[in-house]
Chain A
Amino acid sequence: MELFDNHKTLYSTALGLFLLLTLGVAILPAISNEQNNAPLPEAPVLSEDAVKGKALFVANGCVACHTQQVRNVEMDKIWGERPGIAADYADNHRTDLFHNTATLMGTERTGPDLTNVGKRQPSRDWQLVHLFNPRTVVEQSIMPAYTWLFDIKDSLKEGDVVVNVPEAFLASPHQKVVASREALQLVAYLQSLQQVKLPDEKSPLFLYKREKLADNGGAPAALNGAELYANNCQSCHQPNGEGLKGAFPPLKGSKIVLNDDPELMVDIIMNGYSGRVQEGFGEMPAVGTLNKLSAGEVAAIMNHERSSWGNNSRKVTEEQVKTLMEKVKK
């Protein structure tokens, strides 16, 4: 064919077709997305530290393993309260001459999604010790250790942020681990990662709902306390309930957990706790409120904690927890 025997027409045709399609599926949708989306009204502006922390997040390639997108499918519900929308990303711009926009949606979930990690795991102490070496708090983790973001010192200066690292991870017990400015910036960024509430309370639906078992008669399946514990509590209090010496208190044999009156335990779960900060333990975030746990879920977690690792305390019921939750509500 004449058209194909002339290199000018042949390659121009191919280029024209390719450019046309490129415009249609990439450039125009991208531009229209830019123009039609604005940051949500309640979206906070990143602090200076968080902005620097984000740059560190980019520089160290964290996006290789961590996504920042809650898909509109039921299985992603554990990563956020609602599916992500375009407006969530609207405030991402080119940072400087050399760096492109960092939307950081990611394509691999070798590690957990981080969209809402600031709410899910707000504790700075935990984030720092986890960054120093993730295996201090999550034994099976395969995340790299970011030891170069920390200084190891023999004596402390004023203003040093000390990280409670278990002795097994240090060369000598006298060493002190101090978080560098970069480590604190990175944690500030992680803490800033929180899903913003939509203004009209109307969010897109999660699709592909999990099917309820038919022979269950429509009744919700019994809640699994061990799984809920693993998802919400285990990273600090550990699978063996013994916590982390000097950082996170044990639940095994804890007076509060074994107390017949569950009120204080419900209070701590729903509102957090700072009663043992003097002993060096980190402040506990309000896990129950942040993760929107239901009374049934809290009861399941409490019963798991009250009956595991040698703990043997009276079980609580959902109704009991419900009334207590109302009572401690601030």
Chain B
Amino acid sequence: MLTAAVLMVGIYCAQAQSKGKAFFAMNSTAGLWTCCLLLLAVILQLALYMKYRLQSIIRSRRVRRRQPQLENVTAHIRQLNNRQLTALLQVKQQTKMKMLVLIALGCSLSAKAQDINPTPLMNQTGIIITIILILIPMLVGIALMIFKLRRVIGNYRRKVYQEDSTQLASYLDDINDAEILNELSQRKAALDYSLGHDELAGTQAAADKKGLLSDISNENDINFITRKKPSPARPPIDPALGKLVLWFLGTATFWLLFGTTVGEYVGIKFVSPDVDHVSWLSFGRLRPVHTNAVFWGWASLAMLGLGYYIVPRVSNTSIASLKGGWYTLILVNAAVVLGTICLMAGINNAGGEYREYVWPVMALFAIGLCITLGNFLQTIARRTSKEIYISNWYIVSAVIFAIVIVLVAYLPFWQDGLGETIIQGYYMHQGVGMWFMLFMLGVTYYFLPQQLNRPIYSYSLGILAFWSQIVFYTVIGTHHFVFSSIPWWLQTVAIVGSAGMLIPVTSGSTNFFMTFRNGWHKLADSYTLPFFLVGLVFYFTGSMQGTAEAFRYTNLIWHFTDFTVAHSHITMYGIITFLLWAAIYTVVPRLTGKEPPQITIGIHFWLALIGLLFYTIPLMYGATYRGIMWQSGKPFIDSVVFMAPYWLWRAIGGSLMWTSHIVFAYNMYKMLVANSAPDIKDAALKKLSEQYLKGSISSPI
């Protein structure tokens, strides 16, 4: 019935809309019919409600009537019950009558509802209004009936309870049987029983003969924060190499803080352009300071540090030259320091993005990379395993490609006129894809399976991703200059290459997510896996977004707007930086033996993630509309005014991200230098061995 009514409303709804009239206007027939049918539906529902209430009462009465027979208590009670039941039966008979009337009413109403056809008469507004006017008092009447019914039911229940209690009291009064009393006291003893806490464990002390248990906590505090597992012990590595890796990661952390402080300040300048009038702090000079410091300072140094950890590990040997590592560390840091000073002083290479450092500065970086490349290759040459693990494919190739890219970008032979722009498109995109992305994929291929404690899903997919990344990524640079005066065929090649990027991206992400399969529960008690997961999710979405941005039509809307800025933060921050954090939180405790505080890792993670979303989503939204405004020929300044709130959101998101970096730096401090609570056991053992060496204790053997 109800369905029929709703269906009819639906049909009228559709009819009214097809006529193009306002659906809920009171002067339209369809609207009136809707009111009418809605009222009917309400009435039907109320009738049904009453029916169910009555039925439930009847059912409960039947149960009550049966209960005494089943329990087979005294005849005395049964008799009393019987007499009352006869009285009750009469009440029941009356209520049944009432209910029948109601059901009949409901049926007639529903019959009416089905009979209603849009005959000419029924299309008359007056008639419909009359029907509604009749239905309204019916509704009120039914409502009143329900109230009445509820009172009757309540009265009946109260009566039954009273009778039951009197009955029970007299029965209890009559009990004098010793057997029953005994039974009751036995029941009381059973109810009083409670567990003694040693039913499963037994009374003997536990023995862990295979050393399966560790890090047992006897503190029973309330868990405000989920306790994550500390990193498991790994085979020890050469402390000298450990020190080098920590220096790489430590200086990287400094550049992250510095670079994003500059970025934050530059973001504020969009909201408040007159915040300073100092040439060294002007927007055009600080922007490349920010981008280069986070590229060559933060991400590159952190990656190199992780590389120095991973390459010897998966080659199952020691690093070829520690000294080489230190040279690289010093050269790269020197490049970023000098580059930053040059840029702020107004000395730059001529404005190509990420190519702003002048060549003497970038040469330091390139020499550092060359030293590291030799170092890695020598290490791999003396590996003790036959095959080269895929991490080393990615990492070493990334270093090789980075050197090629820097050479191509800085050698002057092909930089005249538009040649500079063609090289620029190639350079900036290869820097992102063949240096940062390729290197981080190698790092992920090492740490992710380890953290999940399972092998990588498919080695072949990793190899496919490797070669297809080289084939497609290398050609996509020019998609930053679609519709420019760069040859049209070159633009097309770049767009096709961008579409081809679907192959390495899907095979790579499939590989990682399939490695995650059945291991999702491990997310909850690991503090590194959430960073990996976010990085991998952005790897998929950020890379796909890159493909979407490359098409000619999307270029019309998004090119030259802040959409590109949002995209580069989704990738360089969402992918690279999150994966770097995941790896750093994995490696540093292994090297120092100090765990970071779990609460500050949580704060770091959430601030960074929420900050990134606040940064990118409003910027993408605003930029899309800005592009559409340009397309429709609106005055340029209007699009500047339009962007103001989105730039404010960017500054807010940026502030959250920046705060998270301070927390990250604090975590680094806790992992690197903070004094953890002294271990009494270690101290005691040390004392004992000292005493033993002095000879004050005789040798145990």
Q: Is the CB of A73 within 8 A of B556?
A: yes
Residues of B within 8 A of A102 (CB): 350-351, 420
List, in ascending order, chain B residues with CB within 8 A of A293's CB.
none
Give A44-83 as 1s and 0s: 1 = Cβ < 8 Å from B's Cβ atoms.
Answer: 0000000000000011111111010101110110100001
Contact yes or no, A59 B633, CB < 8 A:
no
A107 an interface residue at 8 Å Cβ cutoff? yes
Q: How long is the Cα–Cα vector from A26 to B397 in the complex, in angstroms?
A: 19
Q: Within the complex, which residue of B279, B343, B346, B351 is in contact with A63, where a contact is CB–CB below 8 Å?
A: B351
Contact A103 B420 (CB under 8 A): yes
B418 contacts A103, CB within 8 Å? yes
B635→A89 contact, CB < 8 A: no
**Which of B73-81, B480-488, B677-685 forms contacts with chain A?**
B480-488
Whether B418 contacts A90 by the Cβ 8 Å rule is yes
Looking at the assembled complex, report how far the CB atom of A134 sits from the nearest CB atom of chain B, in whole angstroms. Answer: 8
Stretch from A135-143, A271-279, A308-316 forming part of the interface with B: A135-143
Among B57-65, B98-106, B407-415, B583-591, the stretch in contact with A: B407-415
Q: How far is the CA of A177 from the CA of B216 in the complex (A)?
A: 74
Tell whether, in the assembled complex, residue B388 and residue A7 are in contact, meaning their CB atoms are under 8 Å apart.
Answer: yes
B482 cross-chain contacts in A, Cβ below 8 A: 71
Q: Let me know if B195 is at the binding interface, CB within 8 A.
A: no
Query: Which chain B residues border A141 with CB–CB below 8 Å?
Result: 273, 637, 640
Contact of A219 with B by CB under 8 A: no
- Measured in the bound complex, the distance between the Cα atoms of B410 and A329 in whole Å is 51
Bound together, the chains give a CA A314 to CA B205 distance in angstroms of: 105
Residue of A nearest to B426 (CB): A26
Say yes or no: B274 contacts A145, CB within 8 Å.
yes
A21:B419 contact, CB within 8 angstroms: no
Decide if B474 is an interface residue (CB 8 Å cutoff). Answer: yes
Cα–Cα, bound, A95→B412 (Å): 11
Count of A residues near B, CB < 8 Å? 84
The number of inter-chain residue pairs (CB within 8 angstroms) is 264
The B interface is mostly helix, strand or loop, or mixed, namely helix
Q: Which of A29-37, A186-194, A259-267 contacts B (4 or more CB under 8 A)?
A: A29-37
Q: How far is the CA of A320 from the CA of B343 in the complex (A)?
A: 56
Asked if B417 contacts A230 (CB within 8 A), the reply is no
CB of B423 closer than 8 Å to a CB of A: yes
Given contact pairs A89-B421, A135-B274, A143-B273, A34 touches B404 in the complex (Cβ within 8 A): no
Nearest neighbor of B560 in chain A, beta-carbon distance: A109
Q: A148 touching B279 by the CB < 8 A rule?
A: yes
A61–B285 touching, CB < 8 Å: yes
Please, which residues of chain A bring their CB within 8 A of the CB of B493? Answer: 25
Q: Are B560 and A108 in contact (CB under 8 A)?
A: yes
Query: Given that A63-B351, A69-B484 are contacting pairs, would A17 and B470 also be in contact in the complex, using a CB cutoff of 8 Å?
Result: yes
Residue B381 interfacial (CB < 8 Å): yes
Q: Is the CB of B420 within 8 A of A84?
A: no
Would you call B288 an interface residue if the criterion is a C-beta within 8 Å of the partner chain's C-beta atoms? yes
Question: Once the chains bind, are B471 and A17 in contact (CB under 8 Å)?
Answer: yes
Stretch at the interface among A8-16, A241-249, A284-292, A296-304: A8-16
Which residues of the partner chain A approach B282 to less than 8 Å between Cβ atoms? 60-61, 144, 146
Given pairs A140-B640, A208-B556, 6 additional interface contacts (CB within 8 A): A10-B393, A17-B470, A59-B348, A78-B633, A98-B360, A108-B562
Can you list 20 residue pairs at the A/B interface with Cβ under 8 Å? A19-B404, A22-B426, A27-B408, A29-B487, A61-B282, A61-B343, A61-B348, A69-B484, A71-B484, A73-B556, A76-B483, A83-B485, A98-B360, A102-B420, A103-B350, A108-B560, A134-B273, A135-B273, A147-B277, A231-B636
* Interface pairs A-B: 3 shortest CB-CB: A61-B284, A30-B419, A109-B560
